[in-house]
Every structure is written in structure tokens, then in C-alpha cells.
Chains A and B, each alone.
Chain A
């Protein structure tokens, strides 16, 4: 599987607000990758995805890996970077000076500071998992399939099909009315 041409896709109606994505993300980025051991780790593992709530609707939010990413543009030390076109936006901890400019410009608020405040923290799209042909941890953990990792082509095709179907239904309904 390649990261290029794919995107995290959220089907909001399916989200049960279980916070499984948050736990799976923290676990994936823990030392032990084992739940029972990770809860005792110091520093504690941190999730890069967060479940936001708007008027009772749960919305899992993580880095969108913008193609023209303001965080990459604004980073003074090139700590925020891409390894190639269409690849996820990654952060080089060694280069990050903790200036928080990325946090200022991110339209989604999904870049945070590590405990201690010296280095910025964000979703890496589980690039290591994708390279091993596995879904990002949050997607793999989602029990209802609310979080998905389809190709852009899959997303648009299904959207077109749904749009076409609703147009057909509208047309049929208006014919019947006449």
C-alpha cells in the first residue's frame, strides 16, 4: 500500500465516540505497543488523533496532511517536511525548536506540543504501518469503519455514485408528482 493518493476519510454517521482511535494512536506511538504495559509507561503515550464533539456529534480529527501545508511553509528549521510529493507531512524532532509557528497556522488545530513543550507533535499517518501494508492504527482500530483510508479515486467514485443516485431519485419523484 502506498500513502500517496490516499487520505483518512471519516464517515461521521458511523462514529460511536468510543475513542478507540485515540487509544490505538497512543498505543501505536508507545514504547511497548502493548496496552497493559503502555498504561505504565513514562512519559505516557500520546494520541495524535482527537475526538471532538460538536452539538453531540463526535468528530475524529487528525492531520489532513495538506498538499500545500502551511505548517511546512512556515517552519523555520524545516523540521516539518515531506519525504516526497503526496507523502504525509512528518516532523523531525531533532530539528524542531518548539517555536509553535506550525500550531499557529494549522487550520485544524491538530499539531500540539509534546509534554515538556519543546517539540511539536502530530500525526505521521502511521507511515511505517502503511509501508508494511497495514492501515493506519486509528483506521484499523475503528470498530464501525467510521475511519477509513481509501484512495482519492475511491472516495470520489463513491461520492459520484451517491450523487447520481440521489439525482435519479429526485427525478423519479418529480415525474411521479406530475
Chain B
């Protein structure tokens, strides 16, 4: 009876309005629907229903006797073939994912170290050390002599020391010393002080092998330790050394959304996460022969823009505009105006190949670590970085001739934004140039002007309308006088929505937050960089503790974290290092752990006793905001801080744009 083919039932969600709160995305999705272009949302619909065992974390494929699945309703098998229970399987799977996330950030960090090392040996073309002050500061922190040495000598030794952090086998990572004493003591007590970056990743991967660690709580400690090696290791190294190499970000004005593409220009998009190539592309784009080549093919010039965190890196340092976040990658190709997309690593959808084949867009992979079927591979060589970047740009410029003007549609959406805030830079803003200090920030919290500071970070996911989680949460927190710090695709979401501007203060912020932002001249949501730059949020918390008056432990501070639309394994590692550093963190979709009562209870309750922070899973942005506000208020009460000076701003005064977005989401949800 194989002839009797009935296709699986497809539950199609509502139209494009339900897929994104971004009107540019809605326009592109309408085009996709009309013209029959398949995008992630269509594949998501075709994937329904998704496997419950996977969602609950109770499927184990670790050995070839399996796969084993635990019956979540208690009727069928309650252990795998080896005898592993739901608790063990869930914990093992989670530890693996935490290790993969940590590996992704850390391997990115390692590449930055290699570039710095090459620069110090004059073996990398086109780069220089742009963050000398930061280099000297880090050398001092790591007790590397600076007197009477050239900048390259210092850089070389710092880079070698940083490389050593990856292979370190004993002791602890250097940046662990940055953590407040109470935080460090907790890690020591729990036995999770990260030794070396690679050491923790290998150790955790080993523990998850068939028949190694089979105690859920031990595996939870693996999740934590390997994640701490990311946040206080790989990611922090990536941030610090990127600042040394490419310069410390300074507040910079730019713009975000698909409207940054220009019909008259050759449009080259960068997509992925590493700054090295993108930085060289920015330099190469300013070469006279590149400009001449553009004119030769009939374009007015070259427009460089980006998707995801590669974009964030060059936005912060060079003001290069943002084309969009994760779920904009396919939509950008649909504009028909992208002549080339240059990708490096992470979060790149292989689906781009088939979509781009219906347009003229040339897809180029550049990292030795990541190849994609249907992409052209032009490997980026740091030794000839500038030439390499020029070659890539020229290929894009040549492709301009293949653009079909009839297929071009660029939505007009483009929001201004300010990016480039750092832990160190915030000093200048908060205290002014003559009195740089965290004092005004701490005082604002102590006096009851600011309720607290919340990091809203993370990805996009097709499991909810694009940006709905980020914007819903941020709007709600702003009206409750919460200062927002951001990275990654969440920062881009808020950038597209106009929240990264001082003007957003009048539209959305509570009165206390407005007073702080107006006095300092900052947006109510601060763009602090890419997803490895979540380490900046850790270092900012260190400064808040150091300034005093709010406790000497992250767990005491009126702060919280959130990743409303998380989807990647990197987000799991980030979640763990933030929580294990003492920060309450609310994420949208639950971690894949609900198949184990013990693990779920540990993450959402028990962790607080051991680490000062815990997870909460809440997809509804308004409810998530409530959880966070209640948490901040509890911390404020424990610190005996003054009551909040002002009532929260009424939701209905947050302006027409947000109201329209909310309605679009409501329509989409039906």
C-alpha cells in the first residue's frame, strides 16, 4: 500500500503579520508568500508537530544501543537501556549543549587571539593595534611587563598568555580573579572554578559519554563549569582582545533594518559572528580601486551592512549599519538587492543557498570551520587580510551586473540608533569626562530613580513572532524605570524598533529612568555589542559592586538577565554562566529539561541557594517582565534601598508605534 500517500498534516500558522512584529519583515514575508519563496517559518510549519521527547530532553542518542526515550507520562519505559533515568538523560543532554555553546564562543575567542598574535609579529596585513590603552591595562592585570617594551612586544606576550588560557590544565582562568570574592567563593565551594577553556569543554564532553557521569547534579555542575569557562574565559577573551585589536567601541550613530540597503549601490552583507574579516572588509571598502570598480559596473558606491553579530562588531567600531537580526537573513536575500552575502561562523542558515539561487545573490563562506553546500568558498587569510577582503568585495561588485532590477524591492524601514557602549565607556557617560565613575548609576538605583539594570540579550526564534519577546519585555521594563543593556540579536531588535535612541526615553521610559538618561544623554537601552560581549555585562556588574552601596555580590544587585527568543546552544552556555555568576535570568522557551522534575526544579529553584541566581522560563513578555520587576523589588528590599520615587509609566502612554506592534502580534496570534 505504499501508493496510498497522504501528506502529513501541516498546521500553517497565520499570515506574515503573525511571524514578526517588524513591518519590514512583514512586507518581505508577504512577498515570499505571494511568490512562493520558502522561508524558515514555512519549514517550521512543515515540521509540526515537533518531537515531544526532544522538547522535553528525554531522548538519548549517546550510544548505538539507543536511541532511548523515556515515557514522560509514566506509562512506558522509565529508563534507557543502560538504566539511565529521565533525570540523567536530561542532565547529560544539557551538559553536552552547554559545552557546545561554550566551545562556539571560545573558539571564536581563540581566533581573535591568533589575529593579535599575528599582528604582534607583523604577520597580519592591514591590522594594527587600535586599543593600546586597553592592551596596557590588560597587560598590567596579567602582570605582563610594559616598561620599555614596544606595543608589539606587549601584544605578543598578552596574546600568548591568552592562548595559554585555552590549554591551561590546572589552577584557574585568569579572569576568574575579576569576579567578586563572594561569587568566587561560591564557585570554589561548589567545585566549579573553571581551569582552562579547552579543559572544561573536553572534560564535560567526556562526562556525557555513555556510562561516565550518571548523576544529574554532577552533570549540572558540568553545565556550570563549562559555561563559566565561556563567560569568564573564551567570551571575555574575545571581547577584551577584540577591543585591543579593533579598538574600544565608542558611542556611534548608525541605522538598522532592511532599508539600509541601497538600490543604487553594490550591497554587500556580512553575516555570522567574527570581527576579523568584517573589519578588513570595512578597510577594503574604503580603497580607491574598490570605489572605482563600483563605478565601472554602474553603481554609485558600495554599501556594506550586516546581519547578526558580525554586524554588531563593525557597527560598534565603525558605524556600519545593520540590515537585520537572525530571522532577517533570508528576508534580506528576498529584497533582490543583496549582491553578496559574506558569512563566517554561527547562526548561518544553510537554506540561504536554495533561496539565493532564485536571485542573483552570491553567497561566500570564508571560515575554514564552516562550509555550506551551494556557497562559494573564498577562504579568508589574515596574513593577507586586506587583499583577501578586497578580492571578496570585488567578487561582489562584479555580481552587481547580474542583479535583476525587476526583482528588487527594498522596504523603507530604517531606524536610527546609537551603539558602542562598553563597561569602560559607560564611565564617561555616567560621570562625565572629568568625573568618570559608576557613582551616578549606583546612586540612581539607591535613590529609587532606577529600579535596576537588566541585560536583555539573545537570538530570534520562529517559535514566536520575531522580536515580539525582546520588544515586549523591553517596553514593559522601560516603563518600570529599568535601564536595559543589550547584545546580539536582541540589541538589533531594539535598534530596528528605535529603542536605542535618546528619543526613545520620552516615548517609553518611566520618569526616574528618563531623569537618569536625560542627565547623562544616553538611550534607555544600551547596545553593548555582540553575543561574546555578554562578558561586558559581567564586567559592568563587577564595576557596580566595586562602586559600592549595592552589595559586594552579583546576587545582591538589583539586576537580572533575559533571553526572550533564545534558540542556540550558545544561549544555553550564556544562561548558565550568568545564572552561576549570581544573576536571576528569565528565558522564553524552556530549556529542554521539563522531562526531568529534578533538573527542572534545580534550575528554577535549587540553583539559587548554590549560586545566587536561578532560571525562570516564561514566554509571555509581559509576564516575564513581571517576574523580573518582582525580582528587582525583592533585591531592593533586601538592600533596604529607598522606595521607587515615581509610579511606573502607564502602558497606554508608550506611543502609537508600540500599540500598533502589539496589535499586529495579537492578530498574528489568532
Contacts and interface: CB of A to CB of B under 8 A. Distances in A.
B590 interface: yes
A55 interface: no
16 contacts: A9-B4, A18-B53, A22-B75, A26-B73, A35-B52, A35-B55, A35-B56, A47-B75, A140-B9, A143-B8, A143-B49, A144-B8, A145-B6, A148-B4, A158-B1, A162-B3
B3 A161 contact: yes
B5 A20 contact: no
B525 interface: no
A45 interface: yes
Contact of A11 (B4, B52, B53, B69): B4
A39 B8 contact: no
A126 interface: no
A142 interface: yes
Contacts of B53: 18-19, 23
A176 interface: no
A139 interface: yes
Interface string B75-86: 110000000000
Nearest to B77: A19
B49 A140 contact: yes
B332 to A, nearest CB: 31
Nearest to B55: A35
B73 A13 contact: no
Contacts of B9: 135, 139-140
Contacts of A26: 73, 75
Interface residues of B, number: 27
Interface string A31-53: 00001101110001111000000
Interface of B: 1-9, 11, 49, 51-53, 55-56, 69, 71-76, 590, 594-595, 597
Contacts of A45: 73
Contacts of A38: 73
B522 to A, nearest CB: 38
A141 B559 CA distance: 42
A18 B50 CA distance: 11
Contact of A13 (B2, B11, B49, B76): B2
Nearest 3 pairs of A and B residues by beta carbon? A23-B52, A158-B4, A44-B73
Contacts of B594: 35-36, 39-40
Given A13-B1, A35-B594, 8 more contacts: A11-B1, A22-B75, A26-B75, A35-B52, A36-B55, A46-B73, A140-B9, A143-B51
Contacts of A144: 8
Contacts of A24: 49, 52
B569 to A, nearest CB: 20
A145 B74 contact: no
Contacts of A18: 51, 53
Nearest to B47: A143
Interface centre among B52, B69, B71, by most chain A C-beta atoms within 10 angstroms, is: B52
Interface in A130-154: 135, 139-145, 148, 150
Contacts of B11: 140
